[in-house]
Amino acid sequence: MARRKEMQGICNDLLESFVSRYNDLDGYWAMGKFQTFLQAETEEQLCFRLVGGENEKNSFSQTLGHYRSALGRHLKTRNMPISWVEQASIEVQALSANQLICRFILTTDHGKDFSCQKTVSVRPHDPESEQRSGGKHGPKNQKGQ
C-alpha cells in the first residue's frame, strides 16, 4: 500500500537525476546551460513547476516536459495517484559564478511538504571549451523505456 511519506524518496530520486551529468540539453550538461541563463538574464532563479503550473512558459521546455513525465512515472511505480500531489517544482538558483543550488519541493494534498536540495559546482556553458555528447540529445538518465 502506497504511503505519502514515500514522497521524500521521489524528491531525492528526481533531484539526483536533475543534477546528474547525464541531464543533457542539446548535447551539453544542463546545469551549465542553466548557469549561463541565470547569469545572462540576471534572473534570480529558474523554476520548473511539475504540478500546478501547466500553463506557465519556461525557457527550458524540454527539461520541464521530461521531469513532469518522470514525476508521473515515479508516482505510478509506487502506486500513488497524481491527485496526492498538490504542487511540485524544481528550483535552480545561482549562488555564485561557479555554484548552483537546486531544490525539489513537493506539497501533498494534505498540505505536507517534502523537499531536498543539492549544491552543484558548475561553470557557465561554453561551447568553445566543451565537447558535445554524441547520440540523441535530451535527458538520458530516465527515458522511461
Residues 6+ apart with CB under 8 A from 136: none
pLDDT at 120 (0 to 100): 92
Give the pLDDT confidence of 116-145 residue by residue, as tens digits: 999 999 877 666 665 556 655 455 544 433
DSSP string, 88-128: EEEEEEEEETTEEEEEEEEEETTS-EEEEEEEEE-PPP-TT
Global pTM value: 0.84
Q: What is the DSSP letter of 48?
A: E
**Domain residue ranges of the chain, discontinuous segments joined by +:** 4-121
Q: Are 122 and 100 in contact (CB under 8 A)?
A: yes
CB 91 within 8 A of CB 106: no
